[in-house]
Amino acid sequence: MSPKKQNYENLADSMIEKFNLRGIEGYYCDNKEEALAMAKRFLTPGCSVSFGGSMTLNEIGLIEELKKSDYVLYDRADAVTPEEKTAMYAKIVTADYYFMSSNAITLNGELVNIDGFGNRVACLITGPKNVVIIAGMNKIVPDVDSAIARIRNIAAPPNAVRLHTKTPCAELGRCADCLTDDCICCQTVITRKSRIPNRIKVILVGEELGF
């Protein structure tokens, strides 16, 4: 095992202890293949599943797996009209499992996320019976302030490029604290504890994943 990989594992072990104190289940996987297998182990036959927008989920192959599975899948991409979107969101909040990543995670086990419309963080807060977060170790930061700085300057700009938003960060490559119509930094949510024990599960992965 390389020194970097060993350090990831050591760090993950200490963070899992912090998660436990916050009512969050914590796991560590060495690579994306292990993370995909771990994520699938949570699912039960006939369960309902949904997911938030996430490069990480795509990179580990989870979205592809869910789309070809026999689970009841609530995919917001299937909703086109405003009426269909409303009906789809009503289903998503009832899902047995909701998969997402986290924009940043502090060394103390706090989850920090910033959203545009807020549908992803809404499901993190309440609704789906289980929320499974998959995050590469590149998302780990010292504290909440560092988390917000990371999201605004490291995660948001490439996401804005990916989403073709007309925001300053998409052109500058850094946060301009904008209030544009296309702003993707509208809701900031800090999760310091899961009120329902173990509803939130975090799979840390010993690779750099997502933005």
pTM (2 d.p.): 0.96
Between the alpha carbon of residue 151 and those of residues 13, 38, 145, 205, the distances in Å are 24, 26, 10, 18
Residue 172: the pLDDT is: 95
List the chain pLDDT tens, one digit each, 211 residues.
Answer: 899 999 999 999 999 999 999 999 999 999 999 999 999 999 999 999 999 999 999 999 999 999 999 999 999 999 999 999 999 999 999 999 999 999 999 999 999 999 999 999 999 999 999 999 999 999 999 999 999 999 999 999 999 999 999 999 999 999 999 999 999 999 999 999 999 999 999 999 999 999 9
Token pair, residue 67, equals 């789309």
Q: How far apart are CA 209 and CA 59, in angstroms?
A: 7
Task: Provide the strand spans (E) within 66-164.
Answer: 72-74, 97-100, 104-106, 111-115, 130-136, 140-141
d(CA 199, CA 79): 27
β-bridge partners, 112: 104, 190
Q: How far apart are alpha carbons 66 and 78 in whole angstroms?
A: 14
Supply the pLDDT for residue 147. 98
CA distance 40 to 165: 33
Domains of the chain, start order: 3-205 (3.40.50.10420)
